Amino acid sequence: MSLVVSMQSTPTVAEFAKAVHSFLDDLDPSRTFGEASLAAARDALSALDASAARLQDAWDGVPPVSSAEARLRQAVLSLHTALPEPGSLSDALPEWFDLRERLSPLYEHMAVALVADANTEVEHLRPTNYARNLLHVSCGLLSILAFEHLLTTPMVRLAALGMLVWAWGMEISRVLSPQVNAFLMTVFSRVSHPHEAVRINSATWYTSAVFLICLASPDRNGVLGLLVLSVGDPMAALIGRRFGRIKIGSKSLEGFAAFVLTSALASAAYLGGYYPELAPLPLVGLAVGASVAGGLAELFTSKLDDNMTIPLAATAGAVLMAAVL
């Protein structure tokens, strides 16, 4: 990495980025806040300010060796400039949440610049977003409604193709025009994550998964794949952030358990309501198989977006269980 400096007290940019991520993640609204946690936030804010200042001191008079490094330095400077004095924030949580909203896009730009300069991956921010969670659940319910009541199989495939073309069209327009990107991120600000301003949107990966599922398995197994994502993913995030203690990589065992349990119950309710002819064993097998496969995809997905891997894995799990049972 080009920005590792020799001063022992000066962090690398990757270390600084990890500290910023930890700080912003601790400000997630799903967590419990008290005097101790806010005091810790103030200490962390002071440490971040000091680290950013040490990085800039180390770069003083040393020209960047590449345009990528120059962009990375600028990203760190922008984030440092946006850091307030710890004493300027009151104990009111809205101020801290507002700070998180202001810093999150700057962090994501730094993360992208870090990859470009040093090929170093850092975690992206996925803060609790209740509007996004509601959208997740609504998509699952709409998939049931569309498949069971409104559309024939050819119509389902045509609708999925239309969604795919629209989503990737928006992605291409965002790449070609920063103005379009800024406009779309503003329009969808209630349901977007900060990293989606600089990466392919999760909704685009979701529509890609829907299209593949509709091509390969436009039946109840495909609906199960979408339902597992819509219920399990937001529940895993909510429970994992609030109660997660046993870590599995960047995720938690508690989040995985919440994912499997809630999506299995939702899947069983769907199958029991629409396919009463199913015997108990196939019904439970389909529900659990889809949920466990989706949960494992959520747990171990790192490079790809889990809005694509979860429904594909859950559908595959349902197909496999249907073949076995």
Residue 30 lies in a domain: yes
Residues 64 and 135 placed together within one structural domain of the fold: no
Residues 235 and 297 placed together within one structural domain of the fold: yes
CA 114 – CA 237 distance, rounded (Å): 26
Query: CB neighbours of 80 closer than 8 A, spacing ≥ 6?
Result: 49, 52, 53, 56
Domain end, chosen from 55, 90, 118, is at 118
**Burial bucket for residue 32 (CB in 10 Å: 0-12, 13-18, 19+):** exposed
Residues 216 and 71 placed together within one structural domain of the fold: no
Residue 178 lies in a domain: yes
Residues 101 and 140 placed together within one structural domain of the fold: no
Please name the amino acid found at residue 311: P
Residue 250 lies in a domain: yes
Residues 185 and 106 placed together within one structural domain of the fold: no
The sign of the torsion formed by the CA atoms of 80, 84, 86, 91 equals negative
Question: What's the pLDDT score for residue 119?
Answer: 79
Residues 94 and 172 placed together within one structural domain of the fold: no
The tally of domains found in the chain comes to 2
Residues 106 and 142 placed together within one structural domain of the fold: no
Which residue do the tokens 């500290």 mark?
Answer: 19
Residue 7, pLDDT > 50, answer: no
Residues 88 and 183 placed together within one structural domain of the fold: no
pTM beyond 0.85: no
Residue 271 lies in a domain: yes
Residue 90 lies in a domain: yes
Residues 114 and 170 placed together within one structural domain of the fold: no
Residue 279 lies in a domain: yes
151 contacts 159 by C-beta, under 8 angstroms: yes
Residues 109 and 188 placed together within one structural domain of the fold: no
106 contacts 78 by C-beta, under 8 angstroms: yes
Range of the domain at 45: 13-118
195 contacts 124 by C-beta, under 8 angstroms: yes
Find the radius of gyration of the CA atoms of the chain: 22
Domain end, chosen from 118, 149, 179, is at 118
Exposure of 75 in the CB half-sphere (CA atoms within 13 A)? 25
Tokens of 37: 């946690």
For residue range 162-197, list pLDDT tens digits in order: 999 999 999 999 999 999 999 998 899 888 888 888
CA 308 – CA 160 distance, rounded (Å): 14
Residue 275 lies in a domain: yes
Most confident of 95-99, 115-119, 270-274: 270-274
Place 320 in a pLDDT band, splitting at 50, 70 and 90.
Answer: very high
Tokens of 139: 């998509």
For residue range 248-282, list pLDDT tens digits in order: 877 899 999 999 999 999 999 999 999 999 999 99
Residues 175 and 307 placed together within one structural domain of the fold: yes
CA 86 – CA 81 distance, rounded (Å): 13
Helix (H) or strand (E) holding 315: helix 306-324
> Length of the chain, please?
325
224 contacts 315 by C-beta, under 8 angstroms: yes
Question: What's the pLDDT score for residue 6?
Answer: 38
Query: CB neighbours of 7 closer than 8 A, spacing ≥ 6?
Result: 54, 58
Residue 7 lies in a domain: no
Beta carbons within 10 angstroms of residue 194's beta carbon:
23
Helix (H) or strand (E) holding 137: helix 130-145
Question: What's the pLDDT score for residue 4?
Answer: 39
Nearest to 317 by CA among 305, 298, 304, 302: 298
For residue range 125-154, list pLDDT tens digits in order: 888 888 899 998 999 899 999 999 999 999
Residues 253 and 141 placed together within one structural domain of the fold: yes
For residue range 15-73, list pLDDT tens digits in order: 999 999 999 988 888 887 888 888 889 999 999 999 999 999 999 888 988 888 898 99
The residues that bridge with 247 in the sheet, in sequence order, are 252
